[in-house]
A and B are shown apart, each in its own frame.
Chain A
Amino acid sequence: MSAAVAIPHDMEPHPVTGMYNGKFGLWLFLASEVMLFGALFSSYVLLRMGAPEGTWPKHGAEILNVPLATFNTVVLITSSVTMVMAWAALKMNNIARGQLFLTVTFLLAGAFLVVKYFEYSEKFNHFEVWLKEPMVVDGNSVSSIRGHLAKDCPPLTKETHIRAFAIPEFILLDPDAPAGSKEHPPTLRIDGGNIRRISDFGPAHSTFLATYFTLTGLHGLHIIGGMVVILYFMLTGSRFAQKRPDKYADRIECTGLYWHFVDLVWIFLFPVLYLL
């Protein structure tokens, strides 16, 4: 006792909204996403405006890797272009070309995540040590030192209840090169008695980095979500497109709208976090 029931406005535009229902639903979803990211951007602005002096970097480039992020921006813009090309090819009934562009979009999204992985890993291997008494490094008296742990430095442990690094007996640190120079000062031995706090450049380092990881982490999850949808259409698309090419093109349009939104979020995140 089964009867085919036609879903109204599945493909033809609804007279009220002017678009098919799937696209309208997608736009409503994107409106909720705007509120989510809008709230986080507002939090960023409020935290930055209220940050005590010296606790927020002058601009993100002091801590973050601008060339890598620029490369990732180009990757995402290119993925938007390939996404729209996939949709255009399907609209012209060129299924093979559409699937090819969809695959390229998926690969570009993967490349973005790989670069992000390297960017994140670098943060968790880069340390800052705040001192009780200032030390002289490269002729300058400093109260905190940034750098990487030297090869023969004893491993650091974390105090589990507060998830912060325990103060070791001593550490060996290869300090970062001063701004405008590529020469690193010699390895430093810092006694535990002179260490006030030690942290990697993870979320616990500062409010700025906590905000950075929250915003870019959430964005990364959206990229993964988009990749799952694209992969689904890569695997099942050819059959679907042969049965109902118009409907398949509509689905890819909705995926493309989501993908463009995710890319647009990054276009705003990049200058806000890395440049300003």
Chain B
Amino acid sequence: MSLKGFHVFFISVCLIFSVGLGIWALRAYRSTGQADSLYLGVGAFFCGAVLAVYGVWFLRKLRHLSFV
């Protein structure tokens, strides 16, 4: 696997974990009511969205490079 393939895998894992962190933080906010958890949750979902957009952009930009 080339760096391109590994990078796509890495960004996909990060995207899944960002959504996971967002869910964890919002659940923490619901149980404790702490504003920090709310900010963390919203931030995590935002990062997830940024990663998704970046992933698509990356695949388009480096179309000519091999996955192998």
- List A residues at the B interface (Cβ < 8 Å): 18-19, 23, 27, 61, 66-67, 70, 74, 77, 80-81, 84, 87-88, 91, 179-180, 253, 256-257, 260, 263-264, 267, 270-271, 275
Contacts and interface: CB of A to CB of B under 8 A. Distances in A.
B54 to A, nearest CB: 7
Interface in B27-64: 28, 32-34, 36, 40, 43-44, 47, 51, 54, 58, 61-62
Nearest to B13: A267
A70 B33 CA distance: 20
A74 B17 CA distance: 12
Contacts of B10: 80, 260, 263-264, 267
A257 B13 contact: no
Contacts of A70: 21, 40, 43-44
Contacts of A81: 54
A23 B68 CA distance: 11
Nearest to B8: A84
Contacts of B13: 264, 267
Interface residues of B, number: 29
B19 to A, nearest CB: 12
Contacts of B24: 271, 275
25 contacts: A18-B68, A27-B1, A61-B28, A74-B47, A77-B51, A80-B7, A80-B10, A81-B54, A84-B3, A84-B58, A88-B62, A180-B32, A180-B34, A256-B6, A257-B6, A260-B3, A260-B7, A263-B10, A264-B10, A267-B10, A267-B13, A271-B20, A271-B21, A271-B24, A275-B24
A101 B17 CA distance: 25
A271 B17 contact: yes
B14 A91 contact: no
Interface hub of B6, B13, B62, B68 (most chain A Cβ within 10 A)? B6
B68 A19 contact: yes
Nearest to B33: A180
Contact of A84 (B7, B21, B44): B7
A164 B28 CA distance: 35
Contacts of B4: 84
A68 B37 CA distance: 13
Contacts of A23: 2
